[in-house]
Amino acid sequence: MNWNLFITSVSGAVWSAEVVRDVYRLRWTIEIVFKAWKSHLRLQQLNIHSESMLRLSVMSRLLFCALTLDIWADLEWRSPAHRHASVLRVARVLSDCAALITCIVFRCTPAQLLDDLLRAHAFHRPRSDRQNTPQGLAVLRTG
């Protein structure tokens, strides 16, 4: 039937039906941008281990959001009239390539990045409140 129903509190004297349609189109675009950020850029997964890591985590996510919009807008501007860039797909591609983007930013190879990540995050931290699994096993072996 090709109908569009818009519910608004703005009277017809203020906005015409065409203006309401255009405003809802813009609003829908904003909703899709937020969905892309939430779905693909992992905004809910912030590093809260320390204040500095939280700050870095928030800032890097915000930069990634800005990068997503910038690339999407550039693709939209450069694309032929019959093709339109999808902000959701741009966000997914950037999310899938996050490790490679990190390598470019830090000027390292993927192997170097993996080595640094493993060295920094793959080992148990010393704890004074309890033993980790290898420490517990060592006690069982010598006990």
Q: Is residue 9 part of a domain?
A: no
Q: What total of structural domains would you count in the chain? A: 1
- Using alpha carbons only, what angle is made at residue 70 by residues 67 and 75, rounded to the nearest 5 degrees? 125
Q: Is residue 10 part of a domain?
A: no
The DSSP code for 130 is S
The DSSP code for 142 is H
Say which residue the tokens 């996510």 belong to: 61
What's the pLDDT tens digit per position in 40-75? 777 777 777 888 888 888 888 888 888 889 999 999
Q: Is residue 117 part of a domain?
A: yes
Q: Is residue 55 part of a domain?
A: yes
Rounded Cα–Cα distance for residues 17 and 4 (Å): 11
Q: Quote the radius of gyration of the chain (alpha carbons, Å).
A: 24
The pLDDT, as a whole number, for residue 34 is 85
Q: How far apart are the first and last CA of the chain?
A: 78
The pLDDT, as a whole number, for residue 70 is 93
The pLDDT, as a whole number, for residue 62 is 86
What's the pLDDT tens digit per position in 71-119? 999 998 888 888 888 888 998 898 888 888 888 888 989 898 888 878 8
Rounded Cα–Cα distance for residues 43 and 86 (Å): 19
What's the pLDDT tens digit per position in 13-45? 899 989 998 998 888 888 888 888 888 777 777
Q: Is residue 133 part of a domain?
A: no
Q: Is residue 62 part of a domain?
A: yes
Q: Is residue 68 part of a domain?
A: yes
Q: Is residue 90 part of a domain?
A: yes
Cβ–Cβ < 8 Å for 37, 93: no
